[in-house]
Structure 1
Amino acid sequence: MGYTPTRGRLEGDVRRTLEQWLPSRLAPGGHTDFAISEFSAPDAGYSGKTVFFTASWKNADGTLHQHNLVLRTQATDHQLFTTPDAVRQAEVMRIMGRHPGVPTPAVVLTERDSNVLGAPFYLMKRVDGRTPSDVPSWHKRGWTTKLTSSQRELMCDNALRALVAVHSVDDPAALAFLRGTDSDGTPLGRYVAGVRRWYDRTRDDLVTGRDTLAAALAELEDHAPPTDSETVVWGDARVGNMSFADDLSVAALFDWETASTGPPDIDLGWWLMFERYLCEALGFSRMPGVPDDDETVRRYLEFGGRLTGDISYFQLLAAVVLSLITNRLALLLVRDGLDANTARSYPTTAVGLVEQYHRDHFNRRTEQQ
């Protein structure tokens, strides 16, 4: 999301370090000619530093092995989230990937010791597939615009089925890991309380929307739906965090930094809000085959998903979270050389959604009284 000129730049001679550190951890004994290719960077991502490379070596019998890998290091010079933890994200992918219908990249190794590369990191296998773009929006440009209407419909349906699979995970150990040590109140209450703490920590640095977000948070705290539902919350559920195979099946689900637990509505509210952020909020229209909000909800339920409250509440919650993220992003983008007006446009658009969703939720709530 956004202008990221420093994306993929790692401090120090990382390739040389990995060439010395990786062989004993990646290649079998007796190997020769271990080498690492030049790094390349993906077209998206700002919450961590991500690079692609190929590791190769010859086994003792002379057989050449090549592995396409992704290195993701925990960012130290910029933070979008309040408590980044690259190694936890890798463990979440390991846990989730064990469950049917939830493909995640295969994690090769993790390293929490910052002395190796300057920050914790993990390696995973690179997934073959295509990912819809945030910038430019996949609703306007890119490979998704070249699909037929039926192909886009298939892509979106497969994506929603994957989301339903995430919400179908009921493994107590997985939920306990994602929940952590916080067990006070309801799962939704804990999630909203976390957003409140996030706002309180960052409000003095917000680029825009401080009063709007404060009012929205009060609405969320005072009128939360009475649910104690708890399932996996992906935290960044959207097609832009999915890799699609040539047949448009879902090859992998990415970006689990903010995975937690709560009602499944949290993810669906984020899904609906984020697509509006990338489409209607930018003046675009849905392409044929791409469902609107109501159709997305209908299909999610048809595929086996479940909802526990008024979805307008969770869309408002999602817009508040996005506003906190994009406010921080704007500061980082200006630091990295983007002009302030362009950088400010990201949180401005998000805060505009907060205002819209707040009105919608207030009107729906008062109509039901």
Structure 2
Amino acid sequence: MAYTATRGQLEGDVRETLERWLPSRLAPSGQSNFEISEFSAPDAGYSGKTVFFTASWNERGGETHREDLVLRTQASDHQLFVEPDAVRQAEVMRMLGRHNDVKTPEIVLTERDPSILGAPFYLMKRVNGRTPSDVPSWHKRGWAVDLTPSERELMCNNALKSLVAVHRISDPDDLTFLRGDLDDADGSTALQRYVTHLHAWYEGCRPDLVVGTDALARAISELVDYTPKTNAEGVVWGDARVGNMSFADDHSVAALFDWETATTGPPDIDLGWWLMFERYLCESLGFSRLPGVPDDAETVRRYEELGGRLTGDISYYTLLAAFVLALITNRLASLLTRDGLDAEIARTYPATAVALVEQYLYEHQRQRKTAP
């Protein structure tokens, strides 16, 4: 009960602040009766705080105007990623959304000043659509289970088309922005910079790993020692999966979400993550793919058929993806335990990811040794 009261009090404080702060930034001059609805929240997400609400006001002519909005606040009491930056995520969505066929939510405003709500935040317009869930896995329960096989196939094909559209972006200014501080002054490739950054992240996480210390040490050695030689550099979403997509009633993609780890590199990074995450949500939990949902080989085939271009052995990139997920879920386990979840239950998240690391490590080493 104490937690509920505290949460409700915080919600009230935020709503009161927004009712004072938003009118001049959101509504036209001359408006009246500006109000904010009660907040609601999605069931997913731990890297930031997300709430839904509706802002309404009366315009000069007396007509009532409503905006369905999403408030995304940078988490101040926990971190899943090395450098959380909610405003950068909004700027990425705004930038990429200017390209044809890349659908991102419309960003209304951004605010870096933490004194307003206690942390940087952004507002975006709410997208009408449905998103497949992670918990419970969309392979087992939820609206996607109720689709026909042909409808699921259409949904998956549209999802892959959207990923290909992201990977077709080649604007130099976009890549410079996404590259950020990871420049190529030393002559390194985008993939080498990505792996170097990942190695540094791992070293920072290593003392606090909950599960998989030995397996992750072997995996990072493999990833560093056998980094593919490719100069490919394009947009890397960093969390490319159907669970970060909103689908319209016709199963087309309405929006792409969660660009917190967007960077540059070969497109294989995203497809490796896509393949790994579906296995994490499906076979790793003892489920089977629903009819219409492609397996790994078919996903790769469709991605390339739709115009995607991979650079080499996908087994390296599935290992890379599982390694990243193992770092994230190790941190998640610590946070969930801190917040009251049973430690053994919390450990299941990184344990499943580390099992994938070991599986993909074996597959990549076998592939590497048998390659011509």
Shorter-chain-normalised TM-score: which range?
over 0.9
Match of 1:236 in 2: 239
Contact 2:106 2:125 survives alignment (8 Å): yes
Match of 1:181 in 2: 181
1:283 pairs with 277, 283, 286, which one? Answer: 286
Match of 1:356 in 2: 359
Deviations 1:98-122 (A, max 9, x none): 1111100000000000010000000
Q: 1:67 to 1:11 in 2, by over 3 A?
A: closer
Runs of 4+ aligned residues of structure 1 deviating over 2 Å after TM superposition are: 8-12
Q: 1:75 to 1:11 in 2, by over 3 A?
A: farther
Superposition TM-score, scaled by structure 2 size = 0.96
Separation in structure 1 between the aligned mates of residue 11 and residue 293 of structure 2, nearest angstrom: 41
| Structure 1 residue identity aligned to 2:215 | T
Separation in structure 1 between the aligned mates of residue 314 and residue 305 of structure 2, nearest angstrom: 16
Separation in structure 1 between the aligned mates of residue 225 and residue 30 of structure 2, nearest angstrom: 64
| Structure 2 residue identity aligned to 1:308 | T
Matches within 5 A, 1:68-217: 68-184=68-184, 185-217=188-220
Q: Deviation at 1:181?
A: 2.6
* SS of 1:49 mapped into structure 2: strand
Q: Deviation at 1:282?
A: 0.3
Separation in structure 2 between the aligned mates of residue 157 and residue 362 of structure 1, nearest angstrom: 31
Separation in structure 2 between the aligned mates of residue 41 and residue 12 of structure 1, nearest angstrom: 14
| Structure 1 residue identity aligned to 2:351 | T
* SS of 1:117 mapped into structure 2: coil
Q: Deviation at 1:11?
A: 6.9
Q: Deviation at 1:12?
A: 6.9
* SS of 1:109 mapped into structure 2: strand
Separation in structure 2 between the aligned mates of residue 222 and residue 304 of structure 1, nearest angstrom: 30
Deviations 1:33-67 (A, max 9, x none): 00000000011111000000000000011010000
Q: Which runs of 5+ in 2 are unaligned?
A: none
* SS of 2:115 mapped into structure 1: helix
Separation in structure 1 between the aligned mates of residue 369 and residue 138 of structure 2, nearest angstrom: 36
Deviations 1:308-346 (A, max 9, x none): 010000000000000000000001111111111110000
* SS of 2:137 mapped into structure 1: coil
Matches within 5 A, 1:25-44: 25-44=25-44
Separation in structure 2 between the aligned mates of residue 55 and residue 11 of structure 1, nearest angstrom: 15
Matches within 5 A, 1:220-369: 220-369=223-372
Separation in structure 1 between the aligned mates of residue 178 and residue 51 of structure 2, nearest angstrom: 26
Deviations 1:122-163 (A, max 9, x none): 000000000000000000000000000000000000000000
Q: Which runs of 5+ in 1 are unaligned?
A: none
* SS of 1:349 mapped into structure 2: helix
Q: What percent of counterpart residues are identical?
A: 71
* SS of 1:57 mapped into structure 2: strand
Q: Deviation at 1:183?
A: 1.7
Separation in structure 2 between the aligned mates of residue 56 and residue 339 of structure 1, nearest angstrom: 42
Separation in structure 2 between the aligned mates of residue 272 and residue 263 of structure 1, nearest angstrom: 15
Q: Deviation at 1:362?
A: 0.2
Contact 2:11 2:39 survives alignment (8 Å): no
* SS of 1:13 mapped into structure 2: helix
Matched, 1:18 2:18: yes
Separation in structure 2 between the aligned mates of residue 220 and residue 42 of structure 1, nearest angstrom: 35
Superposition TM-score, scaled by structure 1 size = 0.97
